Amino acid sequence: MSRGAQKQIFKTRQLPNPNEYVQALLGEFSAWAYDEEKILEFKGKWRQEFQVLPETPLDLEIGTGNGFHFAWRAGQYPDRILIGLELKYKPLIQSIRRALRSDCKNARMGRYNAVLVKDLFVPGELNDIYIHHPDPWAKTSQNKHRLIQPEFLKNIFELQKSGSIVEFKTDSEDYFDWALPFFEKSPYHVIGWTRDLHHSEFAATNFVTQFESLFLRKGQPIYYAKLLKQ
């Protein structure tokens, strides 16, 4: 999505009939979740916002969905900061609500288009990045809208510290076949990949989300790749 498309998204504070999730973003959860305007204030200042040491790891989850992985990760790693990005209000609120119910004070959510991630972080500010089940844009004519593109990979590479990883999961074989060549040609080192995550060497450390479990019950594989910024 272009920068122009991002600007065409209604600003949260200008919505004429805000639903309960919009109201929650601007009210109850405003200290923990940020709209597309407020989130811009923290670029280069995320660790200051959390009042943590400069060396504290700062991770990013792009597309948190209903927030099961987001809340789990924040809870499992309380010594790391976790930022989640979502465009839709309901999953945004679901994600931060789950994290807070688990007493995770190290997590924040933001409403923003991940294609424009360079608006939110400075080079070297990020550590690990998680991209789980992004919109596959299944029609060939829609492939240009897919998140995984050479420029996007170049951008997130610049934003990460050396030694950081990118974890990618999808239930779409077509999307995986599209993304893998981009991974291999990117600045990253591809640690490994598999066409069947749950029967691979990566299964032991994988957190199975509710969404992922739907495909497992159907016997459908999950496609996975792990990248490293050396």
Closest CA to 111 of 129, 130, 84: 84
Distances (CA, A) of 9 to 62, 110, 117, 221: 18, 14, 16, 34
23: helix, strand or coil:
helix
Q: Look up residue 87 and give its amino acid.
A: L
Measured distance CA(33)–CA(26) in Å, rounded: 8
Among 103, 135, 171, 196, the one annotated catalytic: 135
SS3 209: coil
Contact assessment for residue 197 and residue 159, using Cβ atoms and an 8 Å cutoff: no
Helix extents (H) in 81-191: 89-101, 150-159, 173-185
Q: Known catalytic residue: 171?
A: no
Residues 6+ apart with CB under 8 A from 42: 34, 49, 120
How far from chain centre, in Å, is Cα 181?
Answer: 21
Please list the active-site residues: 135
